[in-house]
Amino acid sequence: MSRIPEPETTPDGPAYEGRLLDRADEEVVDQGVSFDVRTLLSRRTVLGLIGIGAGSLALAACTTATGASSGTATSGTDPATTATGEIPDETAGPYPGDGSNGVDVLEQSGIVRSDIRSSIGGGATAEGVPMALQLTILDTAGDDAPFQGVAVYVWHCDAAGGYSMYSDGIEDETYLRGVQVADATGVVGFTSIFPACYSGRWPHIHFEVYPDVASITDSTNAVATSQVALPEDVSRIVYALDAYDGSTSNLDQVSLDSDNVFSDDSGALQLATVTGDATSGYQVSLTVRVDTSTTPSAGAAPSGGGGTPPGGGAGGTPPTAP
């Protein structure tokens, strides 16, 4: 269970990290998005003074948390030979939790975080093989410069294939959802678990890119909505574990060529590079090129994305998958 931050007592009232709480009678995690933004900006200023970007620090924390041994296994695309081009726009699917089809985690205080394994402010913690996710966001309209300052919202299913806020039994949980802001190198990092493979879909991770952290409360502000594809060989190693019961048989029934999201190009621009092992964890990385000169075509009104996660539909009936 996550530890809830304790406020400090000052002559002027309760405070956190030297700033007075906006809502003196409520906990730190219930202060609202604007308070979270000021906290994030304050931390980024300090990090900038010592020459460390917030995203780089988040990634370092991910690697430490997973204890993953880099180089013990490598799969996916080679960054040196990966096809270049704008990341394909994909559906946000029926379980985005971004307010576009009902429930909205992006309005909650505490959503800006790197470790997304536990629900915000306490609650359940998702169990599974540790995963450190790194996305490098590049600005295609700016000659592939690092897209510093964009906010990236990431979400995915748990080891049983369920989505927090939607699936039966975890409707009140918010785990495996979080936002990070890209550092000077365009990097965001998350500590999470390897997602399951549920019926009808290739193993994947969802993400949305927003112009800045202040924009995340309206899903129509997203400048890109896409998905990360996970390599088959690594996925099969993970899915041999008891915690991922059913994932292997689901994976046997789908391929990158047949998946209704990745089939256009077999995930050429979305297949992640993965290193590590199932005992200590994996590092998953992908370069994401975002072109702000093009009009986003997905995300605002999710229309499915295929697949049937166990217990899907709680918290409102998700749109029928095409």
Q: Is the pLDDT of residue 132 over 70?
A: yes
Over pLDDT 70: what percentage of the chain?
Answer: 68
pLDDT in tens, 196-241: 999 999 999 999 999 999 999 999 999 999 999 999 999 999 999 9
Count the neighbouring beta carbons within 10 Å of the beta carbon of residue 271: 23
Count the neighbouring beta carbons within 10 Å of the beta carbon of residue 310: 17
Q: How far apart are CA 90 and CA 149, in angstroms?
A: 22
- DSSP letters for 230-286: PPHHHHHHHHTSGGGTTHHHHHTT--TTT-TTTTTTTTTTTBPEEEEETTTEEEEEE
Contact indicator for 190, 132 with CB cutoff of 8 Å? yes
Which residues are within 8 A (CB) of 301 and not within 5 positions of it... i.e. 6 or more apart?
A: 100, 101
User: Token pair of 46, please?
Assistant: 């300090």
Contact indicator for 228, 272 with CB cutoff of 8 Å? yes
Give me the mean pLDDT over the 37-59 stretch: 40
pLDDT at residue 307, rounded to an integer: 57
Q: Is the pLDDT of residue 38 over 70?
A: no
Count the neighbouring beta carbons within 10 Å of the beta carbon of residue 166: 26
Q: How far apart are CA 173 and CA 157, in angstroms?
A: 12
| Domain boundaries, given as residue ranges, for the chain | 54-290
Give me the mean pLDDT over the 180-185 stretch: 98
Which residues are within 8 A (CB) of 44 and not within 5 positions of it... i.e. 6 or more apart?
A: 53, 54, 181
Q: Is the pLDDT of residue 188 over 70?
A: yes
pLDDT in tens, 291-315: 999 888 765 433 444 555 654 332 3
Going from the C-alpha of 123 to that of each of 50, 186, 236, 302, the distances in angstroms are: 35, 31, 30, 27
Q: Is the pLDDT of residue 248 over 70?
A: yes
pLDDT at residue 70, rounded to an integer: 34
User: Token pair of 186, please?
Assistant: 């365009």
pLDDT at residue 241, rounded to an integer: 98
Give me the mean pLDDT over the 67-80 stretch: 45
pLDDT at residue 199, rounded to an integer: 95
The CATH code belonging to domain 54-290 is 2.60.130.10
Q: Is the pLDDT of residue 265 over 50?
A: yes
Which residues are within 8 A (CB) of 251 and not within 5 positions of it... i.e. 6 or more apart?
A: 197, 202, 203, 232, 235, 236, 239
What average pLDDT does the chain have?
A: 80
| Cα–Cα–Cα angle for 227, 170, 173, rounded to 5 degrees | 80
Contact indicator for 291, 229 with CB cutoff of 8 Å? no
Which residue reads 């039966």 in tokens? 168
pLDDT at residue 45, rounded to an integer: 36
> Please, what sign has the CA dihedral across residues 241, 242, 247, 248?
positive
Q: How far apart are CA 68 and CA 133, in angstroms?
A: 12
User: Token pair of 105, please?
Assistant: 């985690």
Q: Is the pLDDT of residue 271 over 80?
A: yes
Q: How confident is the model at residue 33 (pLDDT cuts 50, 70, 90)?
A: low
